[in-house]
């Protein structure tokens, strides 16, 4: 199972900042270096934010290699357009990319994002009340979080393919071009989406690169396109740009639905997790659609971006968007919907975590052991044993992956006991000695 995070061993100091930030407790420090349990990593990027030594990086492809390949098509996440000093208008960004010799495929986005919104709206309409709310599958970190930690919510995931993948499919079908495509990703989760996709066999993109790398190249390599391309105040920005920030997708789904849709938007992993916990308790009745994003403010908050998420949001808020479509376009959209270009090919399945024991009796035995081990630990969750908490330490021990002496506090008290014993031994007399200590 590939994930979107790379470890720079030489930079890792073995501090425990990152392991505490992991929402699925997938990180350990072993022999002074960080290790990621890839089977439960959701590529959310929280650890990258927390690492003070830049030892955790997005696992993207080699930029020089990609640049050496020509021709090369690029499919950028919508937030890419908001990385620059000029307005987030795709025609400007496309101009800058052409100057670098890359071929952006923005022209397919409109249909891909529109059909995704239509598909979500129809899925909501066709779902019984008990299956609601549906949950957006746009954020791959959220999908994987559900696969690992919220199995009950899997039936709520809307079976809609990521529109970036759909864009590539549409582009290939229309142009018949065979050149490779690089996906430009704002976060480790989109990288993981290319490396090991969910809901399809292989990604339609061949390579993946971080937004910040391409943005830097644009800033160095091409001048401000707004000086060369004329835009006037009536220039409209396409609707899909709004998906870069929280609320954009919901707005799109509501606009393309022919009935009222009650949407709920949530961003930031901590918020997403509490919302899902509430949802599992059945507390979200009356909501039709949940747009959940792992990053603050949505994709513009991804760790792989160059621009401040706050400024990106202002830029997107300030552009004009229209949701009016012509009858002709409506028909085209309907045809795409029926061609099912938007549909996830495979079912999303839960990722089972190993239970403590192979059957309930053995698992209960292990859990009792776990409670006993846990009671021996200091409950400080200091991380010095290389695990995120005393509870995880206890679990590792009963699974046979550690010992109580990994705990520095336990070790200290054992040394104290031992030295007391040595001291007692040292006072014991042998027959040739007198109590004066000769």
Write out the residues near other proteins by the rule CB under 8 A: 151-152, 277, 280-282, 355-357, 360-361, 363-365, 367-368, 395
Cα–Cα distance measured from residue 134 to residue 183, given in angstroms and rounded to the nearest whole number:
27
**At closest approach, how far in Å is the CB of 148 from other proteins?**
11
Measured from the CB atom, the residue of 78 and 402 that comes closer to other proteins is 402
Task: Name, in order, each residue with C-beta under 8 angstroms of 205's C-beta and a sequence gap of 6 or more.
Answer: 75, 164, 165, 168, 181, 182, 183, 194
**At closest approach, how far in Å is the CB of 301 from other proteins?**
26
Measured from the CB atom, the residue of 56 and 272 that comes closer to other proteins is 272
**At closest approach, how far in Å is the CB of 20 from other proteins?**
18
Give the residue among 13, 10, 51, 45 at the shortest CA–CA distance from 212: 45
The token pair that represents 353 in the structure block: 């975590």
Q: For tokens 């709310």, what's the residue?
A: 133
Omega within 30 of 0 (cis) for the link into 120: no
The token pair that represents 147 in the structure block: 């696969």
**At closest approach, how far in Å is the CB of 155 from other proteins?**
10
Phi and psi angles of residue 179, each rounded to the nearest 5 degrees, phi first: -65, 155
Give the residue among 9, 7, 8, 27 at the shortest CA–CA distance from 17: 27
Are the C-beta atoms of 4 and 192 separated by less than 8 Å?
yes
Measured from the CB atom, the residue of 264 and 319 that comes closer to other proteins is 264
Measured from the CB atom, the residue of 334 and 365 that comes closer to other proteins is 365
The C-alpha angle with vertex 43 and arms to 140 and 119, in degrees rounded to 5, equals 0
Exposed (0-12), middle (13-18) or buried (19+): which is 20, by Cβ within 10 Å? middle
Measured from the CB atom, the residue of 219 and 363 that comes closer to other proteins is 363
Measured from the CB atom, the residue of 325 and 363 that comes closer to other proteins is 363
**At closest approach, how far in Å is the CB of 141 from other proteins?**
20
Measured from the CB atom, the residue of 355 and 378 that comes closer to other proteins is 355
Displacement of CA 221 from its chain's centroid (Å) = 30
**At closest approach, how far in Å is the CB of 424 from other proteins?**
39
Are the C-beta atoms of 83 and 211 separated by less than 8 Å?
yes
Measured from the CB atom, the residue of 368 and 414 that comes closer to other proteins is 368
Are the C-beta atoms of 5 and 43 separated by less than 8 Å?
yes
DSSP string, 144-180: HHHHHH-GGGGGGB--B--HHHHHHHHHHHHH-----
**At closest approach, how far in Å is the CB of 368 from other proteins?**
6
Measured from the CB atom, the residue of 152 and 236 that comes closer to other proteins is 152
What is the pairing mode between strands 289-293 and 56-58? unpaired
**At closest approach, how far in Å is the CB of 361 from other proteins?**
6
**At closest approach, how far in Å is the CB of 371 from other proteins?**
8
Cα–Cα distance measured from residue 230 to residue 217, given in angstroms and rounded to the nearest whole number:
23
């Amino acid at each position: 199972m590939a994930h979107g995070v790379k470890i720079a061993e030489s930079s890792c100091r073995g501090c425990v900042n990152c392991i505490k930030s992991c929402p699925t407790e997938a990180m350990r420090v072993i022999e002074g270096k960080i290790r990621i349990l890839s089977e439960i990593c959701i590529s959310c990027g929280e650890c990258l934010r927390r690492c003070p030594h830049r030892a955790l990086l997005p696992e993207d492809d080699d930029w020089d290699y990609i640049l050496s390949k020509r021709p090369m098509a690029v499919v950028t996440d919508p937030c890419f357009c908001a990385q620059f000093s000029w307005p987030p208008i795709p025609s400007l960004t496309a101009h800058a990319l052409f100057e670098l010799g890359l071929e952006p495929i923005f022209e397919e986005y409109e249909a891909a994002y529109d059909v995704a919104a239509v598909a979500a709206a129809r899925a909501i309409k066709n779902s019984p009340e008990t299956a609601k709310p549906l949950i957006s599958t746009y954020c791959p970190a959220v999908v994987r979080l559900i696969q690992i930690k919220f199995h009950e919510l899997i039936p709520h995931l809307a079976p809609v393919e990521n529109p970036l993948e759909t864009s590539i499919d549409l582009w290939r079908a229309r142009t018949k071009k065979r050149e490779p495509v690089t996906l430009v990703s704002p976060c480790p989760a989109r990288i993981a989406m290319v490396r090991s996709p969910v809901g399809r066999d292989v990604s339609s993109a061949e390579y993946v690169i971080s937004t910040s790398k391409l943005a830097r190249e644009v800033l160095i390599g091409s001048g401000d396109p707004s000086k060369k391309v004329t835009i006037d105040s009536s220039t409209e920005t396409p609707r899909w740009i709004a998906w870069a920030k929280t609320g954009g997708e919901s707005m799109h789904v509501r606009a393309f639905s022919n009935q009222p849709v009650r949407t709920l938007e949530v961003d930031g992993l901590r918020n997403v997790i509490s919302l899902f916990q509430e949802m599992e308790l059945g507390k979200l009745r009356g909501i039709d659609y949940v747009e959940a994003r792992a990053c603050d403010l949505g994709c513009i908050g991804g760790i792989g971006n160059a621009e401040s998420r706050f400024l990106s949001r202002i830029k997107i808020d300030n552009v004009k968007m229209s949701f009016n479509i012509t009858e002709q376009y409506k028909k085209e959209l309907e045809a795409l919907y029926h061609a099912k270009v938007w549909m996830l090919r495979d079912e999303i399945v839960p990722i089972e975590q190993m239970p403590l024991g192979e059957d309930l009796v053995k698992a209960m035995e292990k859990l009792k052991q776990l409670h006993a081990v846990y009671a021996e630990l200091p409950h400080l969750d200091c991380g010095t044993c290389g695990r995120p908490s005393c509870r995880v330490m206890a679990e590792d021990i009963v699974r046979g992956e550690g010992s109580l002496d990994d705990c520095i506090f336990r070790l200290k008290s054992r040394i104290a006991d031992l030295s007391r014993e040595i001291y007692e031994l040292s006072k014991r007399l042998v027959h040739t000695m007198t109590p004066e200590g000769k």
